[in-house]
Amino acid sequence: MTSHNKLDTELDEVQGLFNQSKFDLALSKVSKLIKNNKKHFLPYNYRGIIFLKKGQYSEALIDFKKATDLDPNFLLGYNNIALCYRAMGNIEYAVKNLVKVIQIDPNILETRINLGSCYSDLGKYAESLNQFHYALKLNEENEFTHHLIADVFIKVLKFKDAREHHQKALTINPGNFMNYFLIATDNLWAGDHINAAKNFRKAIELNPDFTESFYGLSRAEKISRADAVVQLAEKMISIPTLSDHDQVFLKFFLARVYETNKNEELFFKFLRESNATKKSISKYSHSQSLLLFNKIKNIYLKHIDTLSEPNHETLKSKNEINPIFIVGMPRSGTSLVEQILSNHSLVFGAGEVPSLHGSLFNLFSSSVESKSFKEELQKIKENYLNHLSVMTDKKIVTDKLPLNFQWIGFILYMFPNTKILHIIREPIATCFSIYKTLFSPGSLEFSYDEEDIIEFYRLYEDIMQFWNTYLPNQILNISYEELVDQPQEIMQRVFSFMDLPYDGHVLDIQNNKRSVTTASDLQIRDQIYKGSSKSWMVYEKNLQKFTQAFTSY
């Protein structure tokens, strides 16, 4: 056997160990190969892949760079370098390496897919779509590419396009449970509960271990206690090795089932257990939230003179999008207000746009004073408007991400012509609704503990009082209870504040067919109804922490 053939055989053995998830054994073996083949690029690439899989990104990066140093024409090595940089959060460097590959060979499918994903990470959705479309030209039957391009279409609210690609992925691989789960989610967002339930059940049938399908099903239909899927969930939660992640989804599912079936004892049993598990794995810290809110106020007061001046960069551009921000606590009625507003012919409802909140959070999480504050805000503004411009051609766009209440003073500087609509709902109703909702991963981490929710509510109240003090007449405070009781009167006031003509048909929210991706997607499909802020009273004995915290309200 030649030395070259011997190396190939030994690398195949490393690959076999890797495929069996025996990463330490694979690492040990390939490290020995490197000692005997220091001038060969492939062993370094193999070891880099193992390091990457183990999350040792710095070590992986060293090996991938060594591989490309030994063979500058090894294009896969540059692709792997990009994967490292992306995993380390350095997306710009990842893009540079992927572009380098494309300049040499534009027809490598994996590189196009990775570049599209990186552009999506950067919020450059048009560029991302271009890369995924190119990838589909290379291989239209690549199921993974259809998943990725659908994800970008969802981010820019092109739900019809997303559904088409999810359907194509299903056609390619009808045995993949994930395709049914994704289509079920599309159905749910579109208000098609019958097909959503049908597809969630198919996903469970194909792979019951993917527990997110159970929770999705509970949001799509009312499930009887006698349903076999409930018995399956109850059997699964008794498995000792079941992960915390799966416990959360199954117990939230069971909590919803027992709430629907009016079994208060079991409803709260599973609700408290699922929230306790979610709390144990979350990274939420009230002290960190307190520091952030104080920092926001202090930075605003430090720059108040500058932030009170007109933003000439914004004022000179009269044709740009004018966002309308609908803020408040989560579950306070922001979705209802947006559903009404988006019924107006001049208004586009963008839902919860995460880019502005995420960018400002990152800015304030760093050393704000070490940067040109106004320049940073201008960059954030431009990126945000670019995001909105991919969604719609309309000039009035609503953003109902509730937590934007944190940034009102800075938002008004970036967008001096914007309108801030602040929705205030009865606090016990708000807090209970938060507590019984499972939000998307990584968001609203305070929501899984009653004390955390109460303390966060106090922070919200404090900073809203701050903004109302320093920015009088620039925020329209709207009572949710008054809105549902007197919708026409309140919405006339809202439209007057927005300088838009009022159209009574906007209240017919049941006719609004836009897809809604938030936790309120079920409630806002029906006519406006009263009484939702009092529904918690049925469970008063189980809500003592909330009732005691807000007795004076």
What does the pLDDT look like over 268-301, one tens digit per residue? 999 999 999 999 998 899 999 999 999 999 999 9
Judge whether residue 513 has pLDDT over 60.
no
Tell me which of 188-202, 466-480, 518-532 is least confident: 518-532
For position 371, what pLDDT does the model report?
A: 56
Q: Which of 113, 109, 62 is nearest to 84 (CA)?
A: 62
Judge whether residue 310 has pLDDT over 70.
no
> How many angstroms separate the CA atoms of 122 and 211, rounded?
30
For position 397, what pLDDT does the model report?
A: 95
Q: From the centroid of its chain, how far is CA 363?
A: 19
pLDDT grade for 1, boundaries at 50, 70 and 90: very low
For position 516, what pLDDT does the model report?
A: 52
Please enumerate in sequence order all residues whose Cβ is within 8 A of that of 39, keeping only pairs 6 or more positions apart, or say none: 70
pLDDT grade for 517, boundaries at 50, 70 and 90: low
For position 316, what pLDDT does the model report?
A: 46
Q: Pick one of 2.30.140.10, 2.40.10.340, 3.40.50.300, 3.40.50.150 as the CATH number of 286-522.
A: 3.40.50.300
Q: Is 326 left (phi over 0), alpha (psi -120 to 50) or beta?
A: beta
pLDDT grade for 491, boundaries at 50, 70 and 90: very high
Give the mean pLDDT of the chain.
90
Sign for the CA dihedral angle at 80, 84, 90, 93 comes to negative
> How many angstroms separate the CA atoms of 104 and 72, rounded?
11
Domain 176-281, second-level architecture: Alpha Horseshoe (1.25)
Burial of residue 43, with CB atoms counted within 10 A of its CB: 0-12 exposed, 13-18 middle, 19 or more buried: buried
Entry pTM? 0.86
For residue range 394-410, what is the model confidence (pLDDT) as tens digits? 999 999 999 999 999 99
Q: Which of 184, 220, 188 is nearest to 515 (CA)?
A: 188
For position 2, what pLDDT does the model report?
A: 56
Can you point out the beta strands (E) in 400-493? 419-424, 475-479
> How many angstroms separate the CA atoms of 322 and 1, rounded?
70
Q: Residue ranges of the alpha helices (H) in 139-285?
A: 143-155, 159-172, 177-189, 193-206, 212-220, 228-236, 244-260, 264-281
What's the order of all strands across the beta sheet hosting 347-349? Answer: 347-349, 396-399, 322-328, 419-424, 475-479
- The domains of the chain are located at 176-281, 286-522
CB 134 within 8 A of CB 112: yes
For residue range 426-445, what is the model confidence (pLDDT) as tens digits? 999 999 999 999 998 878 99
